[in-house]
Amino acid sequence: MAFAKGFCRTRGIKHLLLDGSFVLDDERIVTNAPQRCYYCKRKILEAMRREVPDNHPLLTGTNVSDEADFRPGMKAEEEMGVRTPLRELRFTKEAIREYSRMYEIPGFERLASPCFATRIPYGEPITFEKVRMIEGAETFLRKLGFALVRVRLISPATACIEVARDEVKRAFDLREDISHQLGAIGFKRVTQDLEGYRQGKLNDEVNR
């Protein structure tokens, strides 16, 4: 959020913040079925539409790389007539980074940071407490120097850590410190995925 605020401020862009906590009032989102992202995206876009003048189009950063994974939220964008310029122009994530680097647009080096709900397996209910624990764990791991990190919820009190493949050994070597801190956050058991991070892992079963 700090990056977005700074980016908009230096370019004279009006920046509105939307408290998204209302999405957890919807049972279809809380129960966390595979279509959760559709209902969540729809609800957020509807709230944004109420805050933005009718003569201002809604745009999102969806791009063509998103088509390679299970993205039910894209259906909500299409239904509401939301424009996705990067997808329409067939920009991949790699192309976006390259163009941003060439034109010195800040943020091209930033790693993807998807919704924390993607760390919770389908069928496991989403709660503020679980999201808070995941956020706290990932913040701690980033402070240890892990740029690419996901803390997956395996059960309500079990965390599974994913880091970049070339950092798997370092995370394992730091296991005592990591286990201690994640235990203080609320996890009763901490495990590590020895394969390392791989995009779309949550959706493996759905894609099959």
For the chain, the domains span 2-102, 116-207
Chain segment 132-155, per-residue pLDDT in tens: 999 999 999 999 999 999 999 998
With b meaning 16 or more CB within 10 Å and e meaning fewer, what string describes 41-54? bbbbbeeeeeeeee
Residue 115 neighbours by CB distance under 10 Å? 15
The DSSP letter of residue 60 is: -
Residue 150: both structure tokens together: 């996901």
Mean pLDDT of 104-122: 89
Give Cβ neighbours of residue 172 (< 8 Å, ≥ 6 apart). 192
pLDDT of residue 204: 64
pLDDT of residue 207: 56
Residue 97: both structure tokens together: 């980074």
From CA 208, how far away is CA 206, in angstroms rounded?
5
pLDDT category, 198, cuts 50, 70, 90? confident
For the domain covering 116-207, report its CATH number: 3.30.70
Chain segment 55-107, per-residue pLDDT in tens: 899 999 999 999 998 999 999 999 999 999 999 999 999 999 999 999 999 98
